[in-house]
Amino acid sequence: MSYLFDNYLPLAITFKSAQGCWLTDTQDKQYLDALSGVGVVGLGHCHPAITHAITQQAQTLVHTSNWYRIEHQESLAKKLCQSSKMKKVFFANSGAEANEAAIKLTRLYAKKHQINAPIILTANHSFHGRTMATLSATGTLKVQQGFSPLLPEFIHVDFDDIDAIKAHQANSNIVGVMLEPILGEAGVIIPADNYLNKVQEVCHKNNWLLILDEVQTGAGRTGKLFAYQHNNISPDILTCAKGLGNGLPIGACLGGAKVADLFTPGTHGSTYGGNPLCSRVALSVLETIETENILDNVNTQSIYFLSQASLVLAKNTIVKDIRAKGLMLAISLDKIYPDLIKQALDIGLLINANGVHIRLLPPLIINQNEMDILIEKLNQLIGSLS
């Protein structure tokens, strides 16, 4: 009998250690981690710079409180704002909490503009988190089931369909559009190149906030520090988490000029958010992304994955589509194969699957040799299905 609630259904595998892209289980079997703890350990497991930052900070100061100034939090805020051209940051402990802050900011923005029943447009099949507000924002029934009443302020529209957004322009209660630049949990759904530009245009025209959930796409995952930077746009609110702490819990909600003065003392907070340890480590993550030219590697390996996958994997007739934006990778199959994740584990590979989509989020430090191993294992896996 387990004393844990049954909300997870863990596979009967326990990892005991890891290094780079590789995990070792308690039977000493090795696995290539093509999931990075679901988009978290972008710099790979136990990256020396991050291990150094953790141990050094753990020996110095782990936690105080946001009642006092926190030097590393201020440095991290400066670095994040300068590299995203945003104005202000609030630090939380997770992606959902970063999105909660974004939703609270949007309510304050609505009040300021005398909108008493604010509505935010979000996408069908999106994922924004598991708290009450963020699961209401999420466009996936499976996440919402059983938890009604939901927050009333979200209207879901089709992703990558600008007309679906424009159709709501007459609704004066709308205050913002909240989107993932790429639908992550839904299976790496990449919109048209100029979709976000068009969304920004509609937002500007209607004085709506553009809220981007970069919890998964941020921290270098798509080959830019933030995915929206591919589009040269400027969101009003930007959230980030997963890759930011390389395994330590931290989330960030960044605000631009339209919302920069909305959080006043006492309006929001978090006990742990932005504590010295997590801030110091996130700062090291951002510095390491720069010093080790991680974004260059993401782009190089992304191109290499696409070329090798179309050479090798596309030969399998059950492969219907191969997608990549940076190191957000997906392979769509002809139908659902329910045992895919277990079959991959058998051959020493960690993947995710959603419906017909195999989703891969390998560490951003993956090298060409490891990419070859990934392709080879995927080919073995997919070949065994047909």
> Which residues are identified as catalytic?
127, 213, 242
Residue placing its CB nearer to ligand PLP in the complex, 143 or 345 = 143
> CA-CA-CA-CA torsion for 188, 191, 194, 197, nearest 10 degrees?
-80
What is the C-alpha separation between 87 and 80, in angstroms, rounded? 9
Query: SS3 for 339?
Result: coil
What is the closest distance, in whole angstroms, from the C-beta atom of residue 242 to ligand PLP in the complex? 6
Instruction: Name the site residues for ligand PLP (rule: CB under 6 A).
Output: 94-96, 99, 127-129, 180, 184-185, 213, 215-216, 241-242
- When computed from its CA atoms, the radius of gyration of the chain, rounded to whole angstroms, is 21
Burial of residue 342 (CB within 10 Å: 0-12, 13-18, 19+) is exposed
What are residue 61's phi and psi, to 5 degrees?
A: -165, 120
Residue placing its CB nearer to ligand PLP in the complex, 33 or 180 = 180
Residue placing its CB nearer to ligand PLP in the complex, 135 or 371 = 135
Q: How far is CA 370 from the centre of its chain?
A: 23
What is the closest distance, in whole angstroms, from the C-beta atom of residue 248 to ligand PLP in the complex? 12
Query: Are the C-beta atoms of 129 and 144 separated by less than 8 Å?
Result: no
What is the closest distance, in whole angstroms, from the C-beta atom of residue 151 to ligand PLP in the complex? 16
What is the closest distance, in whole angstroms, from the C-beta atom of residue 239 to ligand PLP in the complex? 7
Give the largest CA-CA distance in the chain: 61
Q: Among the residues of the chain, which ranges form H helices?
A: 36-39, 48-58, 71-84, 95-112, 132-137, 141-144, 162-166, 195-206, 276-291, 294-312, 340-346, 368-383
What is the closest distance, in whole angstroms, from the C-beta atom of residue 319 to ligand PLP in the complex? 25
Residue placing its CB nearer to ligand PLP in the complex, 23 or 101 = 101
Residue placing its CB nearer to ligand PLP in the complex, 38 or 322 = 38
Residue nearest to ligand PLP (CB): 95
What is the C-alpha separation between 178 and 166, in angstroms, rounded? 14
